[in-house]
Amino acid sequence: MSEMQLKNALDTLKTTGVRITPQRHAILEYLIESMSHPTADDIYKALEHRFPNMSVATVYNNLRVFRESGLVRELTYGDNASRFDFVTSKHYHIICESCGKIVDFHYPGLDEVEHLAAHVTGFKVNSHRLEVYGTCPECAEKEAKTEE
């Protein structure tokens, strides 16, 4: 399953003339298999033992390459570190404001919003970003206990 995703991703890169280096392979692999939304530093730390000489710059460089080829989406959070998400199917994120956990959820799509926005503003629309914020069940429970 994730084998397939990796293979497709590598193919995409190959056809756009991007070299597949061991580092790139490893970063992509990690993004897919970790099933999480790691920061550049998370990725760096996770691969440090396999690539003792790898530079943080390499991680950032390649995440940019992946973003530009559409394989990876960058989730930005102001002064805090960006998180990177391997693009699979259309999904959105719900984020716990207490512990920072990010959980995926699917939603049919917001084409209608895009159309309306395009119509009202005259923009040519490319994409959108939607995030829901709240409290995850674990944190909600903790809070409830604290208040007892």
* Footprint on this chain of DNA (rule: CB under 7 A): 18-19, 21-24, 39-41, 51, 53-58, 60-62, 64, 76, 78-82
The minimum distance between CB 47 and its own copies, in angstroms, equals 22
DSSP state of 103: E
Question: From its own copies, DNA, none, which one binds at residue 99 (CB under 5 to 8 Å depending on kind)?
Answer: none
Q: Nearest distance from residue 132's CB to its own copies, in Å?
A: 4
What does the DSSP assignment read for 20-89?
A: --HHHHHHHHHHHHH-S--BHHHHHHHHTTT-TT--HHHHHHHHHHHHHTTSEEEEEETTEEEEEEE--S
Site string for its own copies, 100-129 (x = CB under 8 A): ---x-xxx--x--xx-xxx-xxxxxxxxxx
Handedness of CA 139, 140, 142, 147 (dihedral sign): positive
Could you tell me the two tokens for 46? Answer: 């996770």
Round to whole Å and give the CA distance between 38 and 41: 8
Measured from the CB of residue 77, what is the shortest distance to DNA in angstroms? 8
Q: Which is nearer to DNA, 24 or 37 (by Cβ)?
A: 24
Map the footprint of its own copies across residues 55-94, applying CB under 8 A: 74, 76-79, 82, 92, 94
